[in-house]
Structure 1
Amino acid sequence: MKANFVFQNLCGTVYRQGNVVFTPDGNSVLSPVGNRVSVFDLVNNKSRTLPFENRKNIACIALSPDGNVLISIDEDGRAILVHFRKGTVLHHISFRSKVSHVAFSPDGKYIAVTHGHKIQVWNTPSQLVREFAPFVLHREYTGHHDEVVSICWSKTSRYFVTTSRDMTARLYTLNPLEGFKPKQFAGHRDVVLGAFFSEDEKTIYTVSRDGAVFAWSAKRGVADDDSDVEMDILDAPSTSASGANLALEHTVAYTRWGISNRHFFNQPGTKVVCATFHPKTSLLIVGFSTGVFGLWEMPDFTPVHTLSISNEKISSVAVSASGEWLAFGAAKLGQLLVWEWQSESYVLKQQGHYYDMNTLGFSPDGQNIATGGEDGKVKLWNAASGFCFVTFPEHTASISSVEFAKQGQILFSASLDGTVRAFDLIRYRNFRTFTSPTPVQFCSLAVDPSGDVVCAGSQDSFEIYMWSVQTGKLLDILSGHTAPVSGLAFSPSGDQLASSSWDRSVRLWSIFGRSRASEPITLSAEATALAFRPDGKEICLSTLDGQLTFIDVAEGVIKSVIEGRRDISGGRKIDDRLTAANNAASKYFNSVAYTADGACVLAGGSSKYVVIYDRAEGVMIKKFQISENLSLDGTLEMLDNRKMTEAGPVDSIDTTGDNSDLEDRLDKTLPGAAKGDLSKRRYRREAKTNCVRFSATGRSWAAASTEGLLIYSLDESTTFDPFDLSLDLTPASIISTMESGDHLIALIMALRLSEKPLIQRVYETVPPSSIRLVARQLPGVYISQFMKYVSDHIESSPHVEFDLLWVSAMLTSHGRWVKEHKGEMAGTLRGLVRGLMGLESSVAKLCDENTFALDYIISQAGKGTTANGNGHGGESNGVMEIEA
């Protein structure tokens, strides 16, 4: 079995903290997810997570105006410069201070970074060459008396305006100007969150947290000692011709700014959290602490739109380059929204689980993944696009397990609220709810392969309940365990049910036999999870002592044991008194899964590692580290002595009472509402895996972790095979091969070169009589690429019969291959269906129009017959006249 799985995508979490950013074309949104960055393609409905990781959670990101360079800065001020299109890390730098905001200049040559109460401007490193010292400091700017909050560049990249917690904004020039001193904009009574230039740069707008918007423009002689703009320019230090030209070029710098208008949002009981401005349309977009956002048209401050989109405060707002789409991030809910304000509709609305993701399940075809969380919600995610397409909120407590029926059209979930629910995945509804005679909490779940019987194990009565899916009635209660039932699984044939428990035993139940008695198989420690091998002959169990135990189902004996304590151990928490090597608390697996062929076992636990073992040899094949995020507990191997104090580690000390804002100091959470140790005032999330599952196709596996839903796959689509290309492979050689009649070779050469106009030329010159032969001989490597081309061609070409012949020949010749790879071919097949449905509808419409025209002609012919009164002769004359 191949073990070269690579990280493909991070689902289940769409936004954590920081700022969201649009790409320059406005088609994608970048969102910080923990210490990674996810890219949501709004046009093609796909998401991907860039492969790099920051050391800690990301505080802010910025994308260059040409869309090539991305800079992401974590909470400690450590930055990574990334080639955005390739996803490769170019450079690292530490700004040695917390960074609140970072912004590229519009010409892309400079990066401005907040640095405490200072501002640093750096030259942008080149992404084309490897530089020894890539980050060169251009200048450092001072003047603010408190932390700088935001930076906004002018469109000429000559000036930038900054805002600060000292309730002022300041205007700086990029390069020193003769006689210029930074201009200060004072008058606000709260933190100034943003300052923005108008399109003509004659007005500056400042927005403060208390809901005030000030418009600043050039002063016009207010008093005798004041002067207007023209006088200011003439009073510039140099009165020569060059000085006058300098003054005209830098009008913004030499303008005397004053408040021209004061506006107020008048939203009672709320504060402004974030704001942005779109200069071309003069729209000011503001997000409030109550989850309301509003649009105002400047400079008249005309309200355009106000909408409540969340129950919690909006943490970040961004506007696309065209001004049509607005992106919002709500950190507390983990919610990301993209709103088209003109049509008042959602372009994207995604939200992850509120706290932790407990369990997951792959659909039988590997297309979808179901997850259950602490928030009581069951979500369905598309494995290819990474988007959640349905959420079931019926449960009222934490979800403990989810399972698909073998047909894939029903999803079952067990919860601590004492119910097992069945969801219809065609109509998206909860059509059946199973309960026990006395209320119990269900912690495990299993579904019969036929989908007729569902079983759930309880946490408090230690019994296994069995229901009929058709009737919803309780069929039986299996007793025998003396501790919570931690795992349940049906054999692939469906005749046996295996259950594991904390009573250090595993039982095999013959549920369709006459006798329900079962002999327990004793284990070395408490069982945490179990899984059946795909052939049904073996069970794998994980126990609390870090072992994987394999039991022969036919003989009911333990065949072998894999010692996994050393493999899973790793990562030290900040309050651990022992090192990771000596701490037994995390040295066990809490989830196991067999690969599709049964040759290997995937296991994960309360650790930062997920391990793949070879079943036959009993050795570890590969170890995956799910996260390198130092903001999580359990990622460091050794504690940092520099962060140790007399009161314990610095990170464990609660500093919320030292925050400057009252709403940040208040703790409004209810006791018991937050998961974790309630005796602690501050709870750090730890790096761990709650559940691991293999896809039925064997091409990918997923892990429900603290970071979200991590998907690893055998990603062969990105590999580049240089042997497919040669110096002889040119458009001229392809055309000469095509003209000589070697249509198959010409088509393969065109697919290798992957030039669409060339493929179209070769494709359309294949004679219809040769289509079946060429399709049959096409190598399997090019089937996916060629089918994708045909599906695109159907929608844009008039050659209906020609395209239909190709589709029929390809599906007839390669139907088995398409079925085996239906996971990766799903998008192509949907495109084919869409194209064929379009052809059918257009042909049907044409036939309806022709039928109507013929009916009309015949009816007119009948009228002519009646008018002549000649019977048969009149009718023939009428028809002859119409034909003429």
Structure 2
Amino acid sequence: MKTDFKFSNLLGTVYCQGNLLFSPDGTHLYSPVGNRVSVFNLVENKSYTLPFAHRKNIDRIGLTPRGNLLLSIDEDGHAILTNVLRRISIYHFSFRSKVTALAFSPSGRHFAVGLGRRTEVWQVPSTPDANTEGELEFAPFVRHHSHMGHFDDVRYIEWSTDSRFFLTASKDLTTRIWSLDAEEGFQPTVLSGHKQAVVGAWFSEDQETIYTVSKDGAVFTWKYVKPKNRIEDDRMDEDDDEDADMRWRIVERHYFMQGSAHVRCASFHAASNLLVAGYSDGIFALYEMPDFNNIHKLSISQNDIDFVTINQSGEWLAFGASKLGQLLVWEWQSESYILKQQGHFDSMNSLVYSPDGQRIITTADDGKIKVWDIESGFCIVTFTEHTSGVTACEFAKKGNVLFTASLDGSIRAWDLIRYRNFRTFTAPTRLSFSCMSVDPSGEVVAAGSLDSFDIHIWSVQTGQVLDQLAGHEGPVSALAFAPSGDSLVSGSWDRTARIWSIFSRTQTSEPLQLQADILDIAVRPDSQQLAVSTLDGQLTFWTMSDAEQVAGLDGRRDASGGRKISDRRTAANVSGTKSFNTIRYSTDGSCILAGGNSKYICLYSVTTMVMLKKFTVSVNLSLSGTQEFLNSKLLTEAGPAGELDSQGEESDRENRRDARLPGSKRGGDPSARKKQAEVRVTSVGFSPAGTAFCAASTEGLLIYSLDQTVQFDPFDLNMEITPTSTLAVLDQEKDYLKALVMAFRLNEAGLIKRVFQAVPHTEIPLVVGDLPTVYVSRLLRFVAAQTEESPHIEFCLLWIKALVDKHGAWLGANRGKMDVELRVVSRAVSKMKDEIRRLADENVYMVDYLLSQADKGQQKSVTLDKVIANGNESVSLDMQDVVSDDGSEGSDGWIGLDD
């Protein structure tokens, strides 16, 4: 089994904190997710996560006007410059303090950052005028100049369209105007008048007007004018200097008037004069400036809207709400959602792959069940019927039926075709179910609880309790049916595991004695071996037939890692992280994957009992338990600095409020209970194909996959591939496969079509069978296009049939990646079928007529054969003796037969 799994995507979380960015063309949305950046393709409905990771949560991101460079800055001011097109981080830099605002100039040559009260302008280390995208000057950041003047943090920066000036909005109730370079007659200007912190300031399209919005809902319109009394005096005194006493002044005042709610964020689109504001009660409002006409107002969240932005065309609005992890893209003209995603706002408990490997189901303490599409990275459906935390989920081996167990005392069965709950199972007494397993046939479901020591078994067809298995002397913590379906394995805190023969008459159980409480169990896919994880960090392996221990390994040293901020001991001596809470066998049964309350996921070989690889879940220092050694300067007399409650010292009144319930341990926002969340892995799972595995962690759903791309293609390095050489291979050597691959390498449509049509129909299966896998998708798309355009219907169908026959297994395994190509083929075949049916319907009588003429011709030919057989050596028919089908004589019928 291959073990070179690499991080490929992050699901389950769509937005954490910071600002959102649209790409210059408005088709992609960049969202900071913890210490990573996720990119959402709003046109193709896909998402991916950039491969780099910060050491702290990301606070600000910025994108150049060309869209080729992304600058992301974390909470400590450490920045990473990334080439977006190639997804490669190209430069690391530290601003040495917390960055509160970031904006690139429209020219792409400079960017401004707010470092507390200070504003700095830096040169971008790139070549904006280069013809090739991504061409860079690998030079360090060069600071252009620095500005001081604000008395509190700079919260927003906005550039003018000509990149000569920029605005800075601050919490000190003022907005300041700065110039990039020294301008004749210009002096930095202060715009004061707001009564609360300014959340945004923008230039109008003609740069003659400035709009500022403050936290209390005030919108001020500024213009460069004289005072009103001065204007009246100038009418009488024409000799006065025109520029005397000209200043930026407030010409209009407007107010949002949202009751007790305050403005959290705002954005302005200069081209269409649209102003959008997000409030603390989850409502946003859209206004048309300068008249302040309200276009519409809508509630999109139950909590604060943290950030809002508008794409370049002014059609889409993007909102981020960090408390519930919501990300929304709204098209205001049609009043419809382009994107509406929300992750779990509480810790995930379990996950499972769908049988086809295209979806992942996650459950969490928030009572929600989410179905994630692996290819697109989006949540496609959310079930909210459970009223408490969902602890376990499992698929029936046949069909699209999902079973979930919850602390609300119910087991629910879900139909993932119609997306509905069609069966609910409950116990005679109210129990909180902590584990569950489903029989491979899907007829029986079993569940265990921490309240009762019995195992309850239900019939899926009737929903009735079939039996209660008694024998454990402690809470049941894990259940698993053998894939063969003949036995059930249970693990308990009484330090025993039991193998139950629930389908036999005796229903006997075989107890397996262990040395510590059982955390999780897993049965190998061949039903021959059982793996048990215990609280002392041991992994033991038992035979299912004889219930004998065959192997064991000590995972304490492998599992331990990372020191929490409250730990008094080092990471190597802390007992809480030295065990595996979740274990799963690989698809082929050769490896076992284990994770727990640490930052590591371990992959072990079952045969040699050797750790093959260790995966680091997160390097985010914003999470507790990711660093091996604590910094002594963060330890105070009152305890670790990270655990000290500084909420009462916040400057804003709403931040000083403590909305926590006394004694609450779970539910709601995790940040309301702890200063730092702890890194841990609650569940792992292998994909059915064995090419990927996923882990439910504190940061979200991490997917690790194998790199299946072809590492070496011999045609890639051949410099002699030209259209002439391709035609020579086709016409002279008759090597159709080589000619086809060379044509694909040149990527010329005319050449590909010529080679494609030159392949004999008898050679199609051989050519397709030896075609490298990397070209299958391109050939499939090309054949589908030819099917719609070309008159050679049967020829194209032979290509499609050969592709499905020879590469059907590969197409099935990569159905998610080949979805577009397969849809194009399906559409082409359906279109061809419809055209043939319509043609046949229109010409049914003509076809009958032609068939009848063929029958008459056969009869006449039989008569001639008889004459010849009678011994006439010479037969000659005159053209005039032939009677046409309509009864007239003529020469348009039979052709004369001469000796």
Other structure's SS at 1:804 match:
helix
Of residues 543, 547, 553, the one that matches 1:556 is: 547
User: Structure 1 residue 478: deviation in Å?
Assistant: 0.7
Mapped contact 1:212–1:262 kept (Cα < 8 A): yes
Q: 1:204 to 1:806 in 2, by over 3 A?
A: same
State the one-letter code of the partner of 1:333. Answer: L
Q: 1:835 to 1:352 in 2, by over 3 A?
A: farther
Counterpart of 2:610 in structure 1 is 619
Counterpart check, 1:803 vs 2:796: yes
Other structure's SS at 2:572 match:
coil
* Cα distance in 1 for residues equivalent to 2:456 and 2:657: 45
Counterpart of 2:150 in structure 1 is 144
Counterpart of 1:701 in structure 2 is 693
Counterpart check, 1:320 vs 2:311: yes
Other structure's SS at 2:85 match:
coil
Counterpart of 1:490 in structure 2 is 481
Counterpart of 2:79 in structure 1 is 79
Mapped contact 1:232–1:256 kept (Cα < 8 A): no
Tell me the alpha carbon deviations over residues 493-537 of structure 1, each in whole angstroms, 9 at most, x when there is no partner.
100111111111110011110111213110121110011111110
**Bigger Cα Rg:** 2
Counterpart of 2:660 in structure 1 is 669
Mapped contact 2:363–2:391 kept (Cα < 8 A): yes
Q: 1:117 to 1:827 in 2, by over 3 A?
A: same
Q: Larger deviation: 590-599 or 85-94?
A: 85-94
Mapped contact 1:490–1:496 kept (Cα < 8 A): yes
Counterpart check, 1:68 vs 2:68: yes
Q: 1:754 to 1:361 in 2, by over 3 A?
A: farther
Mapped contact 1:365–1:823 kept (Cα < 8 A): no
Q: 1:844 to 1:407 in 2, by over 3 A?
A: same
Tell me the alpha carbon deviations over residues 32-51 of structure 1, each in whole angstroms, 9 at most, x when there is no partner.
11110000111111110111
Q: 1:823 to 1:447 in 2, by over 3 A?
A: farther
State the one-letter code of the partner of 2:464. Answer: K
Q: 1:370 to 1:77 in 2, by over 3 A?
A: same
* Cα distance in 2 for residues equivalent to 1:142 and 1:300: 34
Counterpart of 2:23 in structure 1 is 23
Q: Larger deviation: 457-466 or 86-95?
A: 86-95
Mapped contact 1:11–1:708 kept (Cα < 8 A): yes
User: Structure 1 residue 292: deviation in Å?
Assistant: 1.1
* Cα distance in 1 for residues equivalent to 2:653 and 2:750: 63
Q: 1:621 to 1:753 in 2, by over 3 A?
A: farther
Q: 1:766 to 1:680 in 2, by over 3 A?
A: closer
Q: 1:4 to 1:255 in 2, by over 3 A?
A: farther
Tell me the alpha carbon deviations over residues 731-783 of structure 1, each in whole angstroms, 9 at most, x when there is no partner.
44224434545432211222344556654453355455654443344344433
Q: 1:689 to 1:211 in 2, by over 3 A?
A: same
* Cα distance in 2 for residues equivalent to 1:83 and 1:656: 38
Counterpart of 1:329 in structure 2 is 320
Mapped contact 2:310–2:316 kept (Cα < 8 A): yes
* Cα distance in 2 for residues equivalent to 1:484 and 1:373: 21
Counterpart check, 1:378 vs 2:369: yes
Q: 1:713 to 1:753 in 2, by over 3 A?
A: farther
User: Structure 1 residue 713: deviation in Å?
Assistant: 0.3
State the one-letter code of the partner of 2:34. Answer: G
* Cα distance in 2 for residues equivalent to 1:276 and 1:232: 40
Counterpart of 2:163 in structure 1 is 157
Q: Larger deviation: 2-11 or 403-412?
A: 403-412
Counterpart check, 1:214 vs 2:220: yes
Mapped contact 1:65–1:107 kept (Cα < 8 A): yes
Q: 1:234 to 1:707 in 2, by over 3 A?
A: same
Tell me the alpha carbon deviations over residues 179-225 of structure 1, each in whole angstroms, 9 at most, x when there is no partner.
42211111111111000111111111111111111111120463449
* Cα distance in 2 for residues equivalent to 1:796 and 1:442: 59
Mapped contact 2:670–2:677 kept (Cα < 8 A): no
The alignment-based identity, stated in percent, is: 53
Q: 1:820 to 1:90 in 2, by over 3 A?
A: closer
Other structure's SS at 2:48 match:
strand
* Cα distance in 2 for residues equivalent to 1:629 and 1:679: 16
Superposed CA RMSD in Å reads 2.7
Counterpart of 1:879 in structure 2 is none
Mapped contact 1:169–1:185 kept (Cα < 8 A): yes
Counterpart of 1:686 in structure 2 is 678
User: Structure 1 residue 799: deviation in Å?
Assistant: 6.2
Counterpart of 1:199 in structure 2 is 205
Of residues 814, 828, 850, the one that matches 2:821 is: 828
Counterpart check, 1:818 vs 2:811: yes
Counterpart of 2:466 in structure 1 is 475
Structure 2 residue runs without a partner (length 5+): 128-133, 848-885, 887-899
Counterpart of 2:418 in structure 1 is 427
User: Structure 1 residue 362: deviation in Å?
Assistant: 0.8
User: Structure 1 residue 827: deviation in Å?
Assistant: 4.5
Counterpart of 2:121 in structure 1 is 121
Tell me the alpha carbon deviations over residues 129-167 of structure 1, each in whole angstroms, 9 at most, x when there is no partner.
887761111010112111111000011111001100111
Other structure's SS at 1:520 match:
strand
Counterpart of 1:455 in structure 2 is 446
Counterpart of 1:33 in structure 2 is 33
Counterparts of 1:586-597 in structure 2, within 5 Å, are 586-597=577-588
Other structure's SS at 2:685 match:
strand
* Cα distance in 1 for residues equivalent to 2:342 and 2:569: 38
* Cα distance in 2 for residues equivalent to 1:103 and 1:757: 46
Q: 1:469 to 1:124 in 2, by over 3 A?
A: same
Q: Larger deviation: 660-669 or 575-584?
A: 660-669
Counterpart of 1:13 in structure 2 is 13
Counterpart of 2:855 in structure 1 is none
* Cα distance in 1 for residues equivalent to 2:803 and 2:286: 53
Mapped contact 2:665–2:673 kept (Cα < 8 A): no
Mapped contact 1:291–1:310 kept (Cα < 8 A): yes
User: Structure 1 residue 386: deviation in Å?
Assistant: 1.1
* Cα distance in 2 for residues equivalent to 1:783 and 1:584: 52
User: Structure 1 residue 828: deviation in Å?
Assistant: 3.3
State the one-letter code of the partner of 1:393. Answer: T
* Cα distance in 2 for residues equivalent to 1:72 and 1:525: 46
Q: 1:73 to 1:792 in 2, by over 3 A?
A: farther
Tell me the alpha carbon deviations over residues 471-508 of structure 1, each in whole angstroms, 9 at most, x when there is no partner.
11111111111111111111111001111111111100
User: Structure 1 residue 291: deviation in Å?
Assistant: 1.0
Tell me the alpha carbon deviations over residues 207-258 of structure 1, each in whole angstroms, 9 at most, x when there is no partner.
1111111111120463449989x9999769xxxxxxxxxxxxxxxxx97311
Mapped contact 1:195–1:206 kept (Cα < 8 A): yes
Q: 1:23 to 1:227 in 2, by over 3 A?
A: farther
Of residues 178, 187, 197, the one that matches 2:193 is: 187
What is the aligned length? 837
Counterpart of 1:609 in structure 2 is 600
Q: 1:224 to 1:308 in 2, by over 3 A?
A: closer
Counterparts of 1:717-756 in structure 2, within 5 Å, are 717=709, 719=711, 721=713, 724-740=716-732, 741-754=734-747
User: Structure 1 residue 805: deviation in Å?
Assistant: 3.2
Q: 1:662 to 1:224 in 2, by over 3 A?
A: closer
User: Structure 1 residue 668: deviation in Å?
Assistant: 1.5
Q: TM (normalized to structure 1)?
A: 0.90
Counterparts of 1:341-360 in structure 2, within 5 Å, are 341-360=332-351
Mapped contact 1:725–1:752 kept (Cα < 8 A): no
Tell me the alpha carbon deviations over residues 679-725 of structure 1, each in whole angstroms, 9 at most, x when there is no partner.
99644211110001111100000000000000000022385656633
Counterpart of 1:301 in structure 2 is 292
Counterpart of 2:331 in structure 1 is 340
User: Structure 1 residue 447: deviation in Å?
Assistant: 0.8
Counterpart of 1:392 in structure 2 is 383
* Cα distance in 2 for residues equivalent to 1:826 and 1:186: 57
Q: TM (normalized to structure 2)?
A: 0.88
Q: 1:312 to 1:838 in 2, by over 3 A?
A: farther
Mapped contact 1:731–1:758 kept (Cα < 8 A): yes
* Cα distance in 1 for residues equivalent to 2:658 and 2:145: 41
Mapped contact 2:768–2:806 kept (Cα < 8 A): yes
